[in-house]
Amino acid sequence: MFIVTGGAGFIGSAIVWKLNTLGIDSILVVDNLATSEKWKNLVNRTYAAYMHRDDFLTAIRGNTLPYEGIKGIFHMGACSSTTERDADFLMRNNLEYTKALCAFALQNNIRFINASSASTYGDGALGFDDDMGGLHALRPLNMYGYSKQLFDLWALGNGLFETIVSLKFFNVYGPNEQHKGEMRSVVNKAFHQIDETGGMKLFRSSHPDYADGGQMRDFVYVKDCVDIMLWLYDNPKINGVFNVGTGQARTWNDLATAVFRAMGREPAIDYVDMPVQLRGKYQNFTEATMARLQAAGYTAPMTSLEAGVTDYVQKYLMRNNAHL
C-alpha cells in the first residue's frame, strides 16, 4: 500500500493518477475535504481507502493505523497558501504533522518523500542551489515558506536526509488544481480570464531590473513532478533535498503568450499594480538548479513551458475538464 497525504489536492491527486496508470490502486488517500471541491480530483481515481487528516494523525501517533504492508508515503498534505496569516496553524499543520509522519515512516521502514517548497529560498539573493550545506542561510519571505524550511532544518539536524527525500517544488501548474481558488497557477487563471474577456492581467514590475511581465519563474508541469517522485521511490538509496523545476526560468509574458497561443488567440495583456500585501515579499526571479537530481541519475527531459501549457489547455481546460 501507498499513502498519499493531501491525496485529493493538486500534486497529491496527480500522484494517485500516476499510480493508477501503473496499475496500482492499493492507495490510502489522506486529506481534509471539508467543503472544498477537492473531491472532484478523486472521481476518476481508484484507491483502497480514505482517511481524514486528523484521524490519520491520531493513528500514526498511536501506531494504530489499520493498514499493513505500507511501502511508501508521499507527503503532499499541507496548507499551501502563501498568504496564510495564522502562523500557529502552519506550525501545527505543516511542521509538527510532517515531523510526526516522518518519524512514523522511519520507525516502520517506509519510504518517505516530502513536499518542501521553492518559497524557502526567499528573495533568491542566495540563489536556488539545493545543496543542503546552505539550508541554514535561507530566509523565506512568508510563513508558508518558513514552515517548510523548519522541517528541512529539523531533518538536517537529525541526520534524516540519509534516508528521506524533501522536494522543493517551484511553480507547478497542470490538471487538478481547479479547487485552489486564488492559489491556482497563472496558467489556469489566464485561461479563464482569456476565455471570459479576451485578455489577461499581469502585475507591473516593482523592480527596475525587470520589465512589466518580465519577472521570471521556473514553471514546472505537474506530470513531470510525479514522474520525479515515482523515480525517487524506485531509487531508495537516493535521498536528501532536491529541487523540482525545469532549470530554466521564463517570464510571465512567455507564460501568457503560451496560453494565448494554445487557445488559438493573439496575446492581449494588461498590466496592473501589484497588491500591497505582496510588495516586499514577491520573488522577481526563481530558477531551479537541477544539477543534484541529474547527478543522482534522473535524466528524463523536462516538459517545456510551451508544450506543458498546450497539453494542459487543449487536453483539459478547453474540454471543460480540469481533472486527470
* Whole-angstrom distance, CA of residue 214 vs CA of residue 284: 9
Q: How far is Cα 139 from Cα 136, in angstroms, rounded to an integer?
A: 8
Q: Count other Cβ atoms within 10 Å, centred on residue 155.
A: 26
| Residue 291 dihedral angles phi and psi, to the nearest 5° | -60, -40
Active site positions, annotated: 144, 180
> Residue 6 has which C-alpha cell?
493531501
Cβ density class 266-305: b for 16+ within 10 Å, e for less: eeebeeeebeeeeeeebbebbbbbbebbeebebeeebbeb
Q: How many C-beta neighbours within 10 Å does residue 200 have?
A: 23
- Spell out the residues 6+ positions from residue 28 whose beta carbon is closer than 8 angstroms to its own: 1, 2, 3, 4, 7, 47, 48, 49, 50, 51, 67, 70
* DSSP per-residue codes, 26-66: -EEEEE--TTSSGGGGGTT---SEEEEHHHHHHHHHTT--S
| DSSP H or E stretch at residue 216 | strand 216-217
Q: How many residues does the chain have?
A: 324
User: In DSSP terms, which residues pair with 243 in a beta bridge?
Assistant: 168
Residue 254 identity (one-letter amino acid): D
Q: 148 in the Ramachandran plot: left (φ > 0), alpha (ψ -120 to 50) or beta?
A: alpha
